[in-house]
Amino acid sequence: MPELPEVQTIRNQLRSYLPLTIERIKRSPELKQNILHTKIPKNIVGATLKRIKSHGKLMIFDLGDLYLLSHLGMSGSWIISKEKLKDKHLHLQLDCGKYFLSYVDPRRFGHMYFVDKKGKDEYLKRLGVDISSEAFTDDYVWECLQKGANREIKPFLLDQKYFAGSGNYIANEVCIRAGLIPDRICKTLKIEDAKKIKQAFHSVLEGSLKNNGVTFSGGYRDAFGEAGKGVQNLVVFHQENCGLCGTKVRKVMLKGRGTFYCPLCQS
């Protein structure tokens, strides 16, 4: 958390406030220690935030010749407000005159980089196709499955080099909707399974985006500080019973991540 639906929710909410010109900045001591991996450019003050894009879990703030790349980690969020935000987990606040744009991250697992266009493009090369984009096709999923031939499907769906934007709850939900047991080896899958996986991603994203993301206890908040209501669309992730058949959900650990599945619906 946050995964693609949460990132896109924040992105979409912030877009309606653009453009924003940065007049002052405030930062916490923890920002440089834990989150920011580059220096804050001197020309940040006076720069105008023109556009906000995203790729997978990465938010891309376009400041003209400068870009701020922001990965929200497990608990990060960008919050827009008319007044200065008073939050003990505030790490960066951009004073933009009428509005304040603030980065809040209780667990401090987020990452930020100020880069030029070359730096942005190089960073994006590390990521696979965005799972919400038109380029995320049946054929693309099939190609990925062949590259991850000996890997277990659920952990593989977390790999950002192939599935940019996927995360733990999405991967769990894709497996149940595609009817695949989480530890199924990719090379045993067929082209029909790739099509099911692609459709399952679409289904999960659609439900989460309609509800402004998914919030678990003490987790993600949108750009207005509100919780997402997408948990109501989850079928197995942190559910007691399967949302498709009612069978008791089982939990195992795969590659260190909690993994939920239905022993009846998945094989």
Using the structure block, give the residue that is written with the tokens 């795969």.
254
Catalytic residue (one of 3, 120, 154, 184) = 3
Catalytic residue (one of 11, 57, 184, 221) = 57
Q: Hey, how many other C-beta atoms are within 10 angstroms of the C-beta on 42?
A: 7
CA separation (Å) from 154 to 99, 136, 161, 243? 41, 18, 14, 19
Is 57 labeled as catalytic in the residue annotation? yes
Catalytic residue (one of 27, 107, 195, 257) = 257
Q: Hey, how many other C-beta atoms are within 10 angstroms of the C-beta on 81?
A: 15
Query: Using an 8 Å Cβ cutoff, are 223 and 78 in contact?
Result: yes
Is 257 labeled as catalytic in the residue annotation? yes
Q: Hey, how many other C-beta atoms are within 10 angstroms of the C-beta on 23?
A: 11
> Residues 101, 217, 234, 184: what is their CA dihedral angle, to the nearest 10 degrees?
100
Catalytic residue (one of 2, 5, 155, 182) = 2
CB burial of 243-260 (b: ≥16 within 10 Å; e: otherwise) equals beeeeebeeeebeeeebb
Query: Using an 8 Å Cβ cutoff, are 187 and 150 in contact?
Result: yes
Is 192 labeled as catalytic in the residue annotation? no
> So which residues are the catalytic ones?
2-3, 57, 257
